[in-house]
Amino acid sequence: MTEKGLSAVPDYQKIIDVINLYVEGWKGDVDKFKSAFDEDAWIFFIDASGKRHKYLLTDCFESWSRTGWDIDAQIVSINQVGSAANVIMNFNNLTDPAASFVDFHNMLEVNGRWLITNKTAVHID
């Protein structure tokens, strides 16, 4: 296997801004969730008991914004190739540790706007 040199993430700040909208949505602002995600985005995740779930994300925004969770989010990595990006982040739920995850956010830039197109997550202890 050969390795290709990796450059800095060209749209770093734009991508971070979208991830921040997602994190801020947990503080009770449904509109921030809506601004971060594509309207057809899905989530797939494995919960603390090992059960697999999948939902259309727009079906989750109302309930997520009402949780009142205290979230400590940390970016692990950001990769961008052209108009596609992936963000891996630790989603540490300080209120309910059973709902702490490593999130994998896949994103696309369409018409100059970055959106999360799908999210995959796995529970962490």
CATH code of the domain in which 25 resides: 3.10.450.50
How far CA 8 is from CA of 5, 47, 79, 80, in Å, comes to 10, 33, 9, 9
How many Cα atoms sit within 13 Å of 67 on the Cβ side? 19
In a domain, 25, yes or no: yes
What pTM value is reported for the model? 0.87
Q: Is residue 24 part of a domain?
A: yes
- Are residues 104 and 116 in contact, defined by beta-carbon separation less than 8 angstroms? no
**Residues 111, 69: Cα–Cα separation, whole Å:** 33
- Kindly state whether residue 6 falls inside one of the protein's structural domains: no
Any domain includes 7? no
Report yes or no on 1 lying in a domain: no
Residue type, 79: N
Domain with 106, as residue range(s), is 12-123
Residue 116 is assigned to a structural domain of this protein: yes
4 within some domain: no
The domain tally of the chain equals 1
Walk along the chain (125 residues) and give the pLDDT tens digit of each residue. 444 555 578 999 999 999 999 999 988 889 999 999 999 999 999 888 999 999 998 898 889 888 888 889 999 999 999 999 999 999 998 998 888 899 999 999 999 999 999 999 998 87
Could you tell me if residue 3 is inside a domain?
A: no
